[in-house]
Amino acid sequence: MANEDLKGLISALLVPFNEDGTVNEKGLRQIIRHNIEKMKIDGLYVGGSSGENFMLEKETKKQIFDIAKDEAKDEVILIAQVGGTNLYEAIELGQYATELGYDAISAVTPFYYKFSFEEVKNYYFDLVEKVDNRLIVYSIPALTGVEIGVSQFKELFENEKIIGVKFTAADFFLLERLRKACPDHLIFSGFDEMLLPAVINNVDGAIGSTYNVNGLRSRKIFELAQAGKIQEALAVQNETNDLIEAILDNGLYPTIKQLLKLQGCNEGAFLSRKPMASATQEQINRSKEIYDAYLKNVKE
């Protein structure tokens, strides 16, 4: 697969859990089919923040990679997020996902400790040296505290296996500078509420959690903006941001899981992985109101 074939709208896959913290496999398969068949997404980003990945054991991460590949097969792009603070686990997961046939891997910048850029760069270079796949840097400075500038991105991109970045930041000056400096590398927008300005800045795609439930509307934003129909795209972004604001006010992941249930993904438990809290009855009730107000009548 050429890098061009990784472009598009990609859902950051949510994972439903059982009361004991195990993966609800039937529910996960439903979510995958829902994304492909109803949300019409181009790909799945598996093992990211939306999948509650950083609270999971290595074997559970592998299980999720297995299920996603088995269910999606080759119908859509599959990107495996393998990163964390443990380089050796990231290498093992990257090799595992590659053997399964994932189209690319991604890795969050190592966090918690205040790593220097040289340490971050070595982490990525060591990872791609051991994994025979392409890599997309996952940059989310609000959660990791790791800021990467244009010159540093260019250093990372000197490695031909590092093909792009999931850019989850609100710094549109940096995004514009990066797009101009690195026209041949892939840039994916990571903030769903900022999809329109990201597309105006010529991102190659977008990866986000709300695409699990709002993929159809997000597709309209993407395509209208690419066609230069900015005011029409803005109107859809306004609708989307009303939805996103309501979701954030009610609790991001618990609410999206409840919205997925209301859209027909209702096989078994749709809990979060502790210590993350699952939806309260109040949140469940509010999710129904959000669904009725913003999603019930959305069509292609």
Is 138 catalytic? The answer is: yes
d(CA 121, CA 151): 12
**Contact present, 6 and 30 (Cβ < 8 Å):** no
Does 109 appear as a known binding residue?
no
CA dihedral sign, ordered 222, 227, 230, 232: negative
Is 112 catalytic? The answer is: no
Does 193 appear as a known binding residue?
yes
Does 71 appear as a known binding residue?
no
Does 190 appear as a known binding residue?
yes
Does 149 appear as a known binding residue?
no
Query: Which residue among 62, 69, 166, 261 is the active-site one?
Result: 166
Q: What is the 3-state secondary structure (H, E, C) of the chain?
A: CCHHHHCEEEEECCCCECCCCCECHHHHHHHHHHHHHCCCCCEEEECCHHHCHHHCCHHHHHHHHHHHHHHHCCCCEEEEECCCCCHHHHHHHHHHHHHHCCCEEEEECCCCCCCCHHHHHHHHHHHHHHCCCCEEEEECHHHHCCCCCHHHHHHHHCCCCEEEEEECCCCHHHHHHHHHHCCCCEEEECCHHHHHHHHHCCCCEEEECCHHHHHHHHHHHHHHHHCCCHHHHHHHHHHHHHHHHHHHHHCHHHHHHHHHHHCCCCCCCCECCCCCCCCCHHHHHHHHHHHHHHCCCCCC
CA dihedral sign, ordered 12, 13, 19, 20: negative
Query: Which residue among 45, 96, 102, 138 is the active-site one?
Result: 138
d(CA 91, CA 21): 25
**Residues contributing to the annotated binding site for aceneuramate:** 49-50, 168, 190, 192-193, 209
**Residues contributing to the annotated binding site for pyruvate:** 207
- Residues catalogued as catalytic: 138, 166
**Residues contributing to the annotated binding site:** 49-50, 168, 190, 192-193, 207, 209
